[in-house]
Copies of this chain bind each other. A is one copy, B any other.
Amino acid sequence: MVHSVSAFAPATVGNILVGYDVLGLCLDTWGDTVSVTFQDAPKVSLIEVKGDKGFLPRDPEKNVASALIGHLIRDKGITRGVSVSLSKGLPIGSGLGSSSASSVAALVAANTLLELNLSKQELLEYALLGEEMACGSAHPDNVAPCLFGGITLTTSEHGTRSLPVPEQLFATVVHPDFSLLTSEARKVLPSALPFSQMIQQVSSVAGFITGLYESDYGLIKASLHDYMTEPYRSSLIPRFDEAKSAALKAGALGCGISGAGPSLLALCQGEEVARQCEVALQTIYSNSQISTKTLVTKIPSTGARVLS
C-alpha cells in the first residue's frame, strides 16, 4: 500500500463559445497538483496551499480540495486520516477551471491513495459537488474535460461523452492578469435571450459538433460564434474586441471568452497559426500595459493523472 500520492489536474476551457454549460476542452501544462498522505489523526488536514497568493481558504472544510476528500472519506465509510497539500498552478478567477482543477486533482489523488477504484464518471459526481462548493452551482463544463481529457459533452440526464478532436486542432489561451469571478460574470447574463440569437446559437453548436466529428475545419470556423455570453460578458474584459479581431486576423478558426472569462480561447488549425495567434494576443495586451500569460497546446487526450 502506498502512503502518499500526488495528482495533477489541468486547466480547462468551459463552454468552448458554443456549448454553454455542456461543452468543455482540456488544456495542459497549466494545472493544479494535490498531494495526499495518510496521517495518524483520523481526519482530513490541509497542511499546505501554495501558489494562490493567499486567496483560498485554509480551513480544511472550506478549501475545495480537502473538503471534497473529507466528503469522499465519509461517503465511503473510511476511518483513516489524510493530510492534503494543494499547489495551484493556474490563476484563480481566470475562466480556466481553477476550482475544477483543485477538485479533480484532489479526487484523483485520493482515489488512488484510498484504493477506491472509482470510475471517471463516479469521480465526476464528486467533482460536481466541488463546483457547487466553489461556484454555487454544479456545472460540469470544466470538471468533465479535466477528468476525461479532450473535448467533452456533459448533459445532466446522460453523463459525459468524449467528442472527437481533429488532428490539427490547437488551442491558444491568453490570460490577461486580472481576475473575474464566475459569480460576477454570471450576473451580467440576461434572464432572456432574443429568439433570433438562439437560432444562431443552436446552429453554432450543431455545426461545431458536426465539424469535430468530420474534422471539417471550415465548418468549425463557421460555427465558432457565441450568442449566449459574449454579447453580455465581453465588456467585462478589457480589449476584448481588439483581441478577438487580432486572433481572427492571425488565422484563428474562432476566438471568444474561456468559460466565464477573463481568459480568451482561440482555436486554430495547426500549431503555426496557433503561435501567430499567441503573438497577436500578446501584442494587443502588451500595448495596453496588461501583463498576460499565454499557452499554445494541442488538445490532450488525457486529463488529470496520478504523478509517478
Chain A residues in contact with chain B, CB under 8 A? 18-23, 153, 155-158, 161, 163, 189-195, 198-199, 201-203, 205-207, 209-210, 213-214, 216, 218-219, 222-223, 228
- What CA separation (Å) do A154 and B228 show in the bound complex? 20
Partner of A193, one of B23, B155, B195, B206: B195
Copies in the complex: 2
SS of A interface (majority): mixed
When distances are taken between beta carbons in the complex, the residues of chain B under 8 Å from A21 are 199, 202-203
When distances are taken between beta carbons in the complex, the residues of chain B under 8 Å from A228 are 195, 198, 202
Partner of A23, one of B195, B206, B223: B206
Residue of B nearest to A154 (CB): B203
- What CA separation (Å) do A22 and B202 show in the bound complex? 8
Partner of A209, one of B193, B195, B210, B222: B210
Besides A198-B201, A209-B210, 14 new A-B residue pairs in contact (Cβ under 8 A), listed by A number: A18-B202, A19-B206, A20-B198, A20-B199, A21-B203, A158-B219, A189-B195, A190-B195, A191-B194, A192-B193, A198-B228, A202-B202, A209-B213, A213-B213
Contact yes or no, A161 B210, CB < 8 A: yes
When distances are taken between beta carbons in the complex, the residues of chain B under 8 Å from A223 are 155, 157-158
- What CA separation (Å) do A171 and B23 show in the bound complex? 29
Contact yes or no, A214 B158, CB < 8 A: no
Residue of B nearest to A209 (CB): B209
Could you pull out 18 A-B pairs where Cβ atoms are within 8 angstroms?
Answer: A20-B198, A21-B202, A22-B202, A22-B203, A153-B207, A155-B203, A155-B223, A158-B223, A161-B214, A193-B198, A198-B201, A198-B228, A201-B202, A205-B205, A205-B206, A206-B206, A209-B209, A209-B213
